[in-house]
């Protein structure tokens, strides 16, 4: 079974999307994407997850305040090493993932997957049953469906405004605060939004 890691052999095929896997257990886990099965439940908030690893990450992100990973450029603290690695790319400008069809490069693999699906019609897609829009990440489809349903479960703690996603309400709450959590590693200028520091860093880096 381990030899398939080196040979690239993937004999187990999903009958729904035809994606192939080297181990039957990987196929079994993948099928939860299509069935919606989420056997792992958080004991603190009753939220369900399809994989035990996702449950552990959820507990660390949502229910723990421990942030042992610090950015060497700006000192910002993170709960996971993965979050730190993604953040560091803001400072370094590293784009590890390149499109094999065009010259575009991306800092995250999920961004490459979205690009391949949107621009080159390549990759596994999940389709909205209301408007037929396609997504490569199940979480993106779920967020999209909330907009069709008009569901806005996240409420701003400072005003009555409601939002579809936690990310949106967190971004909005910066309107009510002077806190600037993002810092340029080159000039130490602070920003409220991650997108702003990314744009600034590129200009700042180009001037050097």
How many whole angstroms separate alpha carbon 108 and alpha carbon 96?
Answer: 7
Tell me whether residue 95 is in a domain. no
Tell me whether residue 37 is in a domain. yes
Q: Which domain holds residue 26?
A: 1-64
How many whole angstroms separate alpha carbon 51 and alpha carbon 38?
Answer: 7
Tell me whether residue 10 is in a domain. yes
pTM for the predicted model, two decimal places: 0.38
Q: 3-state DSSP call for residue 130?
A: coil
Q: 3-state DSSP call for residue 146?
A: helix
How many whole angstroms separate alpha carbon 135 and alpha carbon 192?
Answer: 29
Tell me whether residue 205 is in a domain. no
Q: For 95-106, write each residue's pLDDT tens digit.
A: 888 888 898 888
How many whole angstroms separate alpha carbon 28 and alpha carbon 32?
Answer: 7
Question: 48 pairs with which residues across the strands?
Answer: 41
Each residue's pLDDT expressed in tens, for the chain with a length of 208 residues: 555 555 678 888 888 888 888 888 888 888 888 888 888 888 888 788 888 888 888 887 777 777 778 887 777 788 888 888 888 887 777 788 888 889 888 888 888 888 888 888 887 778 888 888 888 778 888 888 888 888 888 888 889 999 888 878 888 887 887 777 777 767 777 877 777 877 887 787 777 7
CATH of the domain at 10: 3.30.160.60
Q: What is the number of other CB atoms lying within 10 angstroms of the CB of residue 190?
A: 13
Tell me whether residue 30 is in a domain. yes
Tell me whether residue 47 is in a domain. yes
Tell me whether residue 207 is in a domain. no
Sign of CA pseudo-dihedral 40, 42, 47, 49: negative
Q: What is the number of other CB atoms lying within 10 angstroms of the CB of residue 104?
A: 14
CB 147 within 8 A of CB 164: yes
Tell me whether residue 21 is in a domain. yes
Residue by residue, DSSP assigns 79-101 as SSHHHHHHHHHHHH----EE-SS
Q: How many domains does the chain have?
A: 1
């Amino acid at each position: 079974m381990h030899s398939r890691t080196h040979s690239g052999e993937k004999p187990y095929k999903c009958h729904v999307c035809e994606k192939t896997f080297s181990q039957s257990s990987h196929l079994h886990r993948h099928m939860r994407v299509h069935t919606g099965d989420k056997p792992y439940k958080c004991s603190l908030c009753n939220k369900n997850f399809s994989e035990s690893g996702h449950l552990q990450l959820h507990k660390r992100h949502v229910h723990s305040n421990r942030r042992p990973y610090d950015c060497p450029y700006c000192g910002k603290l993170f709960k996971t090493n993965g979050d730190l690695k993604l953040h560091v790319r803001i400072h370094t400008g590293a784009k590890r993932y390149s499109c094999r069809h065009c010259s575009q490069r991306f800092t995250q693999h999920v961004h490459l997957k979205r690009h391949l699906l949107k621009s080159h019609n390549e990759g596994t897609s999940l389709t909205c049953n209301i408007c037929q829009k396609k997504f490569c990440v199940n979480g993106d489809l779920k967020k999209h469906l909330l907009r069709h349903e008009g569901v806005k479960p996240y409420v701003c703690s400072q005003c009555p405004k409601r939002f579809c996603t936690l990310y949106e309400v967190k971004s909005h709450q910066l309107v009510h605060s002077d806190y600037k959590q993002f810092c340029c590693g080159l000039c130490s200028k602070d920003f409220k939004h991650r997108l702003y520091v990314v744009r600034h860093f590129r200009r700042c880096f180009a001037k050097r």
